[in-house]
A and B are shown apart, each in its own frame.
Chain A
Amino acid sequence: NAGVTQTPKFQVLKTGQSMTLQCAQDMNHEYMSWYRQDPGMGLRLIHYSVGAGITDQGEVPNGYNVSRSTTEDFPLRLLSAAPSQTSVYFCASSAGAPQDRPFSPLHFGNGTRLTVT
Chain B
Amino acid sequence: AQKVTQAQTEISVVEKEDVTLDCVYETRDTTYYLFWYKQPPSGELVFLIRRNSFDEQNEISGRYSWNFQKSTSSFNFTITASQVVDSAVYFCALSPLYSTLTFGKGTMLLVSP
Enumerate chain B residues within 8 angstroms of A110, measured Cβ to Cβ: 43-44
Given known pairs A41-B105, A42-B104, A43-B91, the reply for A102 and B97 (CB within 8 Å) is yes
Enumerate chain A residues within 8 angstroms of B31, measured Cβ to Cβ: 102
Q: How far is the CB of A64 from chain B (nearest CB, A)?
A: 17
CA distance A105 to B44 in the complex (A): 14
Q: How far is the CB of B111 from chain A (nearest CB, A)?
A: 20
Q: How far is the CB of B20 from chain A (nearest CB, A)?
A: 20
- A102 contacts B96, CB within 8 Å? yes
Interface flags, B13-40, vs A, CB<8A=1, else 0 = 0000000000000000001110101000
Q: How many residues of B contact A (CB 8 A)?
A: 25
**A75 sits at the interface (CB 8 A):** no
**B95 sits at the interface (CB 8 A):** yes
Q: Which residue of B lies closest to A111 (CB)?
A: B43
CA distance A92 to B31 in the complex (A): 23
Given known pairs A45-B100, A110-B44, A111-B44, the reply for A102 and B106 (CB within 8 Å) is no
CA distance A100 to B96 in the complex (A): 9
Interface flags, B76-113, vs A, CB<8A=1, else 0 = 00000000000000010001111111011110000000
Q: How far is the CB of B77 from chain A (nearest CB, A)?
A: 15
Enumerate chain B residues within 8 angstroms of A102, measured Cβ to Cβ: 31-33, 95-97, 101
Residue in contact with A98 in the complex, picked from B37, B43, B101, CB distance below 8 Å:
B101
Pull 24 A–B residue pairs with CB atoms less than 8 Å apart, ordered by A.
A40-B9, A40-B105, A41-B105, A42-B91, A43-B106, A45-B101, A88-B43, A90-B45, A98-B101, A99-B100, A100-B97, A102-B31, A102-B32, A102-B95, A103-B52, A105-B35, A105-B47, A106-B45, A106-B47, A108-B37, A108-B45, A109-B44, A110-B43, A111-B43
Partner-A contacts on B (CB < 8 A): 9, 31-33, 35, 37, 43-47, 50, 52, 91, 95-101, 103-106
